[in-house]
Structure 1
């Protein structure tokens, strides 16, 4: 079987789907990942065949320009679709991705000839491509702390990702309705997800919801020797993900590092390529590792402090690590609230955080057993969910039967 995977060009929007693509390849299916911008290289590094559906322009950079408050001037837009120029980024990232990526995804699909399209629930370009190609689509949730089953998502983005950009492209290209095979919910049951034996048809179109185990993928790396061992004192991970440093800088790290610097802990700071010069000399107990995938060292950590990105929230759940979330923007506050509600961690407004508060909150995570116990419970729930391989096999069987 040939399976076209389609994703938006962000790490948190693409990397959660990689294990499902691996499952398809391991089962002997032909796969192609249709994406653009930085995710073409990220997909290739994951060992996948990738097609750039919009090589004319880095639309991810356009998104960062928008959310950083640098205005909507995106430079020369003469080579861009008319719909893009009309929206001028005012429809948000999903509209932006839809109007730039839909036609290229359809073209890739026509050349590849898929029997099934797999796309994330927030990526309308994939769903529109499936409809244009007249093949069923498997819709995958890529957030493990909340889901497109939630009312708050639907109110903000519209059913099935039908934002203004999607409606414009559907009309422009004469695309009909999408045949949804099923929708995947990767959340643990106690965080709003489905139990393994649950079958919940969607009230909108009767497509079934299937549970799936979240398997973290955040890149590969040569593992340093220290990461294989749990240290004598607690190890605390600190990261702002890939978007926050580009948009807001790293100033929010000052209070975090000042607080942790006064504790008897080992700090692993994973700040990617962010410029840390404004922070001055780091405390002696801070190990700055640049870009090192969380999965490399998170299993040896006793806690993590982060911004609330979907993938960064999900990885500690998988490893049973309590977390302190200082939410940034977009869906970050919602992830933070789910973490606090489930008792797997704590949250605080990053605009009012200080070193004393950081020490107090992290000390609670390290010393109060309830947080570790709750995180361990969620980890066990996730491990009991159907694996990506079993969900992929189920989708293939349903595709053949349809």
Structure 2
């Protein structure tokens, strides 16, 4: 079987795909990964063959979010749940963001052109596409391949899509003024006037969900749950990662997506001030130049990058902005978490925090409440109250009970064969 993975050049989205891609390759299937040239080297470093498609995406220049001050709301909120806000007009406008603003950047026509040419020659049996990269279902439809969507976080789009279709039916507007359907149909018609839209193109014929059970949204799609397996690319195990920490160790990370998308960072000066007086050590994945802080406490080690999968087994807590990959990695290692708001709700980070707080495995500090004193108090609670560690261990066991990437290969083979 030939399997094509399609993702935009966002490293954190690609790394979520690697364990399933390697499970398929280990089972004897041919695998290719298509993305913009920006991450061709990252793909190759994972041992998977890269297929460059389209022009460079250039997200490191903050293309999607450049110029937005900290705290300003993005032009959509996929996590909106208030019934009075979820009108047909509001849901339609939110969904419109993805084809007309997000997909036109992440999955531009030039990328689609290259993928159509590639799939015409390589003829994949199955296309696995990142949930924001809608070139995937288009090329699958055009070349006749089965296709599944792969999530990078909670499935907010499925919930909104179901709500949009229900509200449209109530208004007798089925098939009318559907921005996602129109965007996909226009792309199909660029290559084949006989090709037609299918609802599976929006959410896939199935959806691979690597998120831990405690943060899944249960959106009602045909879901293929899979255990989250952390992957961070190249990794070197340095000596200090082998030493048993003499004191509780805290990880402080800004996340790769924050750097790639140009998002504002949590206030490092307050964070460093909070940990300075703790009987603990800190590993901060940020360089001195990036921190912009003149004084770094003696119990803080600065490092540009260290894979969380190598670091977190030694940690008593993690402080971060609650990107889905960092949350999931902390869950599978049973580490209590502290969210320090960066002022942006990109993909439901506050909801993720609320979920982990309700499970008793995390604490949350909003942007308006960030002071060194409040942060120090919350970190002390995480370190001293055994309940946080016990609850994090419980969520870890739930996550490890999920099917492994190896376990879902037969399901993908059956879907492609059908």
TM-score bracket, normalised by the shorter chain, equals 0.7 to 0.9
User: Is 1:124 equivalent to 2:134 in the alignment?
Assistant: yes
Task: Say whether residues 1:261 and 2:276 are aligned partners.
Answer: yes
Counterpart residue number, 2:215: 191
Verify the 8 A CA contact 1:91 1:164 in the aligned structure 2. no
- 1:276-287 equivalences under 5 Å are 276=290, 278-287=292-301
2:87 matched residue in structure 1? none
Q: Judging changes above 3 Å, is the alpha-carbon distance between structure 1 residues 293 and 395 closer, same or farther for their aligned structure 2 residues?
A: same
Partner residue in 1 for 2:171: none
**Which shifted more, 259-268 or 88-97?**
88-97
Deviations 1:21-72 (A, max 9, x none): 1111111111100011432221111111001111x3334246x13312179x
Report the count of equivalent residues.
371
The one of 320, 324, 329 equivalent to 1:310 is 324
Partners in 1 of 2:383 and 2:131 — Cα distance?
Answer: 36
- State the Cα distance separating 1:245 from its structure 2 match: 4.3
Contact 1:98/1:165, CA 8 A, preserved across alignment: no
How far has the Cα of 1:185 moved from its partner?
2.2
The unaligned stretches of length 5 or more in structure 1 are: 72-86, 195-199, 203-207
Partners of 1:188 and 1:312 lie apart in 2 by 12
Q: Secondary structure at the match of 1:131?
A: helix
State the partner residue of 1:99: 108
Q: 2:288·2:302 contact (CA, 8 Å) conserved in 1?
A: no
Q: Please name the residue that 1:379 is paired with.
A: 396
Once the two structures are superposed, residues 79-102 of structure 1 have per-residue CA deviations (whole angstroms, 9 ceiling, x without a partner) of xxxxxxxx9999433342122432
**Preserved contact between residue 250 and residue 276 of structure 1 (Cα < 8 Å):** no
Alpha carbons of structure 1 residues 20 and 248: separation in structure 2 relative to 1, 3 Å: closer
One of 300, 303, 311 as aligned partner of 1:289: 303
Q: Quick one: structure 1 residues 187 and 66, their matched pair in 2 at CA, closer, same or farther if it must change by over 3 Å?
A: closer
Q: Distance in 1 between matches of 2:181 and 2:325?
A: 24
Rounded to whole Å, the distance in 1 between the matches of 2:250 and 2:162 is 35
Q: Is the 8 A contact 2:184 2:197 kept in 1?
A: no
- Structure with larger RCO (C-alpha < 8 A, sep 6+): 2
Matched with 1:169 is 187
Q: Is this contact kept in 1: 2:128–2:148, CA < 8 A?
A: yes
- Decide whether the 8 Å contact of 1:19 with 1:215 is kept in 2: yes
Distance 2:163 2:304 in 1: 37
- Mapped contact 1:116–1:399 kept (Cα < 8 A): yes
Contact 2:16 2:152 in 1 (8 A): yes
Q: Measure the CA separation in 2 of the matches of 1:181 and 1:248.
A: 33
**Structure 2 equivalent of residue 226 of structure 1:** 240
Task: Give, in angstroms, the shift of residue 298 of structure 1.
Answer: 1.1
User: What RMSD, in angstroms, separates the aligned Cα atoms of the two structures?
Assistant: 3.1
Provide the rounded CA distance (Å) in 2 between the counterparts of 1:163 and 1:280. 52
Q: Structure 2: where are the runs of 5+ without partners? A: 70-95, 167-174
1:338, distance to aligned residue in structure 2 (A): 2.5
Report the TM-score, using the length of structure 2 for normalisation. 0.80
TM-superposed CA distance for 1:163, in Å, is: 7.6
Matched with 1:22 is 22
How far apart are the structure 1 equivalents of 2:42 and 2:163? 31
Deviant stretches of 4+, over 6 Å: 87-90, 153-156, 158-161
Q: Tell me the distance in 2 between the aligned counterparts of 1:381 and 1:216.
A: 16
Shift of 1:227: 1.2
Q: Does 1:109 align with 2:119?
A: yes
Q: Which moved more, 1:343-352 or 1:111-120?
A: 343-352
